[in-house]
Structure 1
Amino acid sequence: MLDDFIIRAALAALGTGIAAGFLGCFVVWRRLAYFGDATAHAAILGVALALAFGTSALTGVLGISLIMALLLSTLAGRQLGHDSILGVLAHTALALGLVIVSLLQGIRIDLSAWLFGEILAVGKSDLALIWSGTVLIAVLLIWRWQKLLTATLSPDLAYASNINPKREELILTLALALVVAVAIKVVGALLIGALLIIPASAARPWVRTPETMAAMAAGIGALSGVGGIYISAQANTPAGPTIICVAAGIFMITLLTRNLTRLKTL
């Protein structure tokens, strides 16, 4: 019989894996891998500010992620590229968050839990938050799918179709911020980017349509989450890193299988 905390951890990993798999496709298509890492690093500042002002960590993370998105949108293209702006914002936010945490009086915080995740400590309220975020992201993608996809594939085509690419980019950024906020307790700020990129990258060589890739990436994300929790419980390894290792293993298997299939057809 599985313990309740293992079941909660598995459900949390399942929800997070699905949400990250869906959004990870847009991260891969738009080549926003570094944005996922930058938002995750900035999440530490959000957590620190939330502790300082006595609000929820979700509020702090979402607020900082939104500010980062607006700053990126404003500053990018003005002498510096996206990667440079993201590098400055991400590391500045991370450093500032660590400084604020050190200045907080009477508050003890385990930074390793935020950096690498603490999924085995997920409670019922955390589980409700994670699945609420997953459902919200699924509904958002269903609602905006065609517009997001058009804006991703061709901004010029989006303009011709009366779609504002900047607006769709902002919507996608907010969705990524939500994933970071709900996933930070599962895999931690340092590993969220991997959970966004690896399932989508593993699915990409095997599919022919964006919809199929999104579904397969969500499935790989879910399998990585549940499989990582199982292996973690059996081997007594850190849950968050184990989830990422499982995802990486699936990626290597799909890559090798795809290459072998190509060799056989030659």
Structure 2
Amino acid sequence: MSIFIAWGNIHQSYPFEQIPTALLTPKLRQTPPEQPRLLQRYRCRWVAHFLLWQLLKKAKISTALLSQIAYSQSLRPYFPDPTIDFNISHSGDWVAVMLSVNEKASQKQSAVGIDIEFPQKNRDYTALLGYFASEQEQQWFAKQPDKQNAFYRIWCLREALLKSQGVGIVKLSEVDHQADDLQLFSAHCPQGEAIFTQELPFYLSAFANETLAAAHYFYWNDKGLKQIELKQKIGYKVNPTLTDF
């Protein structure tokens, strides 16, 4: 399995015109809205589609797949080929895309999830955790010197797991985060691995039902995708007691 992750900011310059019109989604063909909030989301869609187009080329996969994007009942986008999966996240002006490709058709179905968070306001993290975190996890949080980093580690990891299956945040409490053991358990995702990092302009977590050790990371610099090494990522085992990994 090959895994690719790329990110960019909506205020950067992108050659959107290079994407063939036939590969655009109906929403991208609409006239840009005037309302600032809606325009931001519209721009995020364009950046996400562009980054996915770029990653398909990096993976040497036909970009014609972009014209075949379908949506699950929970509105999670996916490709009809089960050996190729992708996931998208955006927060503020930042967008990130994750692509997974199983080179061998006989391998299991791909499943990935990604979440980024760009904090834009102060929050009562302790109160928020009371809604979905276990008592053990809240005790771990209370011992952490950087409360913002600890909270988004707890939040992003959960989101990445749930998004791999198109499950919403209403199931946050059904993810067991054992921070000291670097393990995650959830009935809402398959076995695999997850990572979390705080070294970027935003917090990032990614999950795959395969190893993430050889994942490729890229950022957009106005001229192209540039590969980067994440040096401070924290790795987790997900559902490690399952036997079908």
Q: Shorter-chain TM-score category?
A: under 0.3
Q: TM-score, normalised by structure 1?
A: 0.24
Greater RCO structure (CA 8 Å; 6+ sep): 1
- Give 1 or 2: higher strand fraction: 2
Rg larger for: 1
